[in-house]
Amino acid sequence: MAIYGKESICLLFGDIVFYCSAHMLGIETANRGLIMITKPKTVVIVGAGIVGLSAAFHLAEKGVERIVIVDKGKVGDGSSIRAGGIVTMLQDNESAIRARSRSLDIFERFSSILPGYTFHQVGCLNLMREQDFVNSTTLREIQTSLGARIEVLRGSEIQQKFPDIHTTDEDFGVLDLRGGYSEPHRYIPALLAKVRELGVEVRENQALVEFTMAGEVVTGVITRGRRSNEPETSTDVTKTIKADAVICTVNSWANHVLSGVGFNIPMKNFIHERFVTKRFPTQPILPAINDNVKDGYVRPTDDNRLLLGTSAHNPDEFVIPHPDFTFSDLQPDPRSLTHLKEHFTNRVPLLQRTEWDYHRVGLISFAMDSNPVIGPVPGLGNFYIGVNFHSGGFGYNPVAGLLLSEYVVNGKTSVDVDSFLPDRFACVDTESYQSMPLKHHDILQKRH
């Protein structure tokens, strides 16, 4: 197997690794991490959220023989099970629009091949004020040219189409007709069942503690955790898994895990909360809504409820204190529901007479430029990451898994998403960025 990097070529014969200067060999190399050029036999994925599961699915479809996912907790129990599940392709840059368009294709496909899962393509309405609508004219042209199907609705037109939304003449709506939502508690088990059916090994309660390396090449992982399927009291076990490629999909935990290979991302985490009402007698008539006027979002659920979410009440960054941290350590913030009631009761009058049922709190993770970080890690062989999906990782997960599988198996992607590559922060002083306490509004705002 040959792997090439910025300045060196690495030849692997079994366990033996040879390094040569790329310059000496006269080979032009990518300045973007080390690229594998033969299909790997074993791939380990660290992190069993929706991005890790999606990567496993696509690798299995590409015929990778052995795929092992490890997670320090239960499948989906990071941000994934807490997500609102809203998806739109109306993003603010070309890479993101292209990527989301592919995600929508895959959601449509998953809806027919994953038993128990449905993609609710009810549309995603992006609400804004007139000035923002005018400012985004060129962006809408780009979105349309890249395959978006949109309908523009103003003031009362919105209410006529969706009677359970209240709008004024100041509201402008851009409806993404391909958008909609998924129920995470149906999607995750359905995707998990599918990857298991495809032969993927899923090891829960096994935390990555170390990467194994041969020079600049990642050769596997060491995990520690409880023996699978045994009670919590059972003895801890340490396991080494050798791999031809390792993919890291640990989202908010990225820097804790990546510090093990000396790579860090300029990134910030923020608390995000979402609430679900009790059932209404009939299905509320509204699409999924990204409400930029009210600073939150609302959507129907598949069992006649409303789901609402926001980060607006708590702008402070959240620093993950240690690698073993779990989201069950996060406490609900009383200000979040107050914010949603104040802002959304007028928007969705049904909320005046509702009771609230349950609540989820998690983290959303932003790279410095608010774009996801997907691709090979610069300077390291056989090592890939897919992290920092802001509040849009549900929308990204199908394509993120596809892209990761393409990097690993083909060395290149079928969607042009170069602006997501991890090497884009090469000139950033990451340590200074990490030590700077930032507020949510200091970072480029992105909703789903």
Contacts to ligand FAD by CB under 6 A: 46-52, 70-73, 77-80, 82-87, 207-208, 249-253, 257, 272-274, 309, 323, 360, 362-364, 389, 391-395, 448
Cβ nearer to ligand FAD, comparing 5 with 401: 401
The minimum distance between CB 94 and ligand FAD, in angstroms, equals 19
Backbone angles phi, psi at 208, to 5 degrees: -65, 130
Cβ nearer to ligand FAD, comparing 9 with 250: 250
What's the number of CA atoms in the CB half-sphere (13 Å) around residue 226? 12
Q: Which tokens sit at 191?
A: 């995707």
Residue indicated by tokens 């349950």: 358
Cβ nearer to ligand FAD, comparing 86 with 97: 86
Cβ nearer to ligand FAD, comparing 58 with 448: 448
CA 121, CA 292: separation in Å to the nearest integer? 21
Q: List the one residue out of 303, 260, 278, 309 whose CA is nearest residue 79.
A: 309
Cβ nearer to ligand FAD, comparing 64 with 307: 307
The minimum distance between CB 300 and ligand FAD, in angstroms, equals 13
Q: Write the CA distances from 193 to 54, 114, 197, 446, integer angstroms.
A: 12, 8, 6, 31
Cβ nearer to ligand FAD, comparing 9 with 104: 104
The minimum distance between CB 440 and ligand FAD, in angstroms, equals 13
The minimum distance between CB 205 and ligand FAD, in angstroms, equals 9
Q: Is 357 helix (H, G, I), strand (E, B) or coil?
A: strand
Q: List the one residue out of 296, 294, 318 whose CA is nearest residue 307.
A: 296
Stated length of the chain = 448
Cβ nearer to ligand FAD, comparing 102 with 360: 360
The minimum distance between CB 388 and ligand FAD, in angstroms, equals 8
The minimum distance between CB 22 and ligand FAD, in angstroms, equals 33
Residue number of the CB atom closest to ligand FAD: 393
Cβ nearer to ligand FAD, comparing 8 with 413: 413
Q: What is the DSSP string of 380-401?
A: -BTEEEEE--BTTHHHHHHHHH
Task: Confirm if 219 and 42 have CB atoms less than 8 A apart.
Answer: no
CA 373, CA 419: separation in Å to the nearest integer? 9
Residue indicated by tokens 């062989």: 381
The minimum distance between CB 387 and ligand FAD, in angstroms, equals 6
The minimum distance between CB 174 and ligand FAD, in angstroms, equals 17
The minimum distance between CB 363 and ligand FAD, in angstroms, equals 6
What's the number of CA atoms in the CB half-sphere (13 Å) around residue 398? 24
CA 345, CA 353: separation in Å to the nearest integer? 9
Q: Label residue 135 exposed, middle or buried (CB < 10 Å: 0-12, 13-18, 19+).
A: exposed
Residue indicated by tokens 């290979």: 261
Cβ nearer to ligand FAD, comparing 136 with 252: 252
Residue type, 234: S
